[in-house]
Amino acid sequence: MKKTNYSFLLLALGILCANCKSAEKSEEGTEQKRPNIVLIMADDIGYSDLGAYGAEIETPNLDRLANHGLRFKQFYNMSKCETTRSSLITGLYKGNDQAISFVSLLRDAGYSAVISGKEHFSKWVPKDCYFAETFEKSLTFWATTEYFVPPVDTFQRPFYLDGKEIAAADIKAEILPKYKTDFITDYGLDWLDSMMEKDAPFFLFLPYHAAHYPLQARPEDIAKYRGKYKKGWDVIRRERFERMKAMGILNADTRLSPAEGNTNKFRGAPKSGPAEIRKKFPTYYPWDSMTEEEQDKKDLEMAVFAAIIDRMDQNIGRVLERLEAAGEMDNTLILFFTDNGSCPFDSNVDFAIPPGPTESYRCLSPVWANVGNTPFRLYKQNGHEGGARTHFIAHWPGVIAPNQITDQIGQVVDLFPTFLEVAGISYPKSYQGKTTLDLHGRSMLPIFRGEQRAAPEHIVSGFTERFRMYRSGDWKIVKQNAAAWELYNMKNDETELNDLAADQPEKVTELEAKYKGLMLQ
β-bridge pairing 475-478 and 486-489: antiparallel
pLDDT in tens, 453-469: 999 999 999 999 999 99
Identify the band that residue 18 occupies on the pLDDT scale cut at 50, 70 and 90: very low
Give residue limits of the domains in the chain: 33-450, 468-521
Which pLDDT value is given to residue 20?
Answer: 42
pLDDT in tens, 294-335: 999 999 999 999 999 999 999 999 999 999 999 999 999 999
pLDDT in tens, 85-144: 999 999 999 999 999 999 999 999 999 999 999 999 999 999 999 999 999 999 999 988
40-61: burial string, b at 16+ Cβ within 10 Å, e else: bbbbbbbbbbbbbbbbbbbbeb
> Lowest-confidence range among 66-70, 294-298, 348-352, 497-501?
348-352
Asked whether the predicted pLDDT for residue 10 surpasses 90, the reply is no
Domains 33-450 and 468-521 share a fold: no
Give the H/E segment covering residue 156.
none
User: pLDDT averaged over the chain?
Assistant: 91
Which pLDDT value is given to residue 370?
Answer: 95
Strand partners, 76: 389, 411
Q: What is the mean pLDDT of residues 60-81?
A: 98
Which pLDDT value is given to residue 319?
Answer: 98
Given a contact cutoff of 8 angstroms between Cβ atoms, the answer to whether 135 and 164 are in contact is no
Strand ranges (E), 5-52: 23-25, 31-33, 36-42
Is 1.10.10.60 the CATH number for 33-450? no
Strand ranges (E), 426-468: 430-431, 434-435, 459-461
Q: What is the mean pLDDT of residues 205-224?
A: 97
Q: What is the pTM of this model?
A: 0.92
Q: What is the mean pLDDT of residues 485-503?
A: 97
Q: Which fold has domain 468-521?
A: Arylsulfatase, C-terminal domain (3.30.1120)
- Could you tell me what percent of the chain has a pLDDT over 70? 91
Identify the band that residue 435 occupies on the pLDDT scale cut at 50, 70 and 90: very high
Asked whether the predicted pLDDT for residue 292 surpasses 70, the reply is yes
SS3 241: helix
Strand ranges (E), 398-440: 404-411, 430-431, 434-435
Which pLDDT value is given to residue 404?
Answer: 97
Q: Which of 264, 268, 240 is nearest to 254 (CA)?
A: 240
Given a contact cutoff of 8 angstroms between Cβ atoms, the answer to whether 466 and 482 are in contact is yes
Which pLDDT value is given to residue 281?
Answer: 77
Which pLDDT value is given to residue 272?
Answer: 66
